[in-house]
Amino acid sequence: MAHRIGQIHFYRGVNFGADNWLVFKKVTVDQVTTGATDSSKEKDKDETNSNGTANGKVDTEANPIPVGIADINNVYSGENCLARLGWNKLMTVIVREMKRGFLEEAMRNCKEEDNNGLLGA
């Protein structure tokens, strides 16, 4: 799938520099491994369910976080560090495949243009 995405980027004329690939990889890993995913900090009392959750999220003010779990927001703590390493490796493979798909399609397209130029000349 990543290979095909690279091909699509070639056909759409989307070129990425090395810094763009690195930012894409870093932001993706950060978003996947971040513990706090609730983007809205305001919670309406009407949306609170009977089990103490708001929209499926646990109300952290009502339920204090145990000390061991508080480290989950620290990106370099225990299991979260291993998760970041795993996701980083996966994203490295995905980016590599996207680049490969882009370059293979560019080379194939370049060869087709050369062949058409030779036949037309």
Identify whether 114 is part of a domain: yes
Tell me the C-alpha to C-alpha distance, in Å, between residue 32 and each of 27, 37, 88: 9, 9, 10
Could you give the number of structural domains in the chain? Answer: 1
* pLDDT tens figures, 36-89: 544 444 444 445 555 555 555 555 555 555 555 555 566 566 667 888 899 999
- Check: CB of residue 35 under 8 Å from CB of residue 73: yes
Identify whether 95 is part of a domain: yes
Identify whether 113 is part of a domain: yes
Single pTM value for the model = 0.59
Identify whether 43 is part of a domain: no
Identify whether 78 is part of a domain: yes
pLDDT-derived band at 10, boundaries 50, 70, 90: very high
- Check: CB of residue 11 under 8 Å from CB of residue 105: yes
Identify whether 62 is part of a domain: yes
User: Which of residues 116 and 60 earns the better pLDDT score?
Assistant: 116
Identify whether 46 is part of a domain: no
- Tokens linked to 107: 């080379």
- pLDDT at position 47, please? 53
Q: What is the extent of the structural domain holding 67?
A: 2-34+52-120
Q: How far apart are CA 1 and CA 4, in angstroms?
A: 5
Identify whether 9 is part of a domain: yes
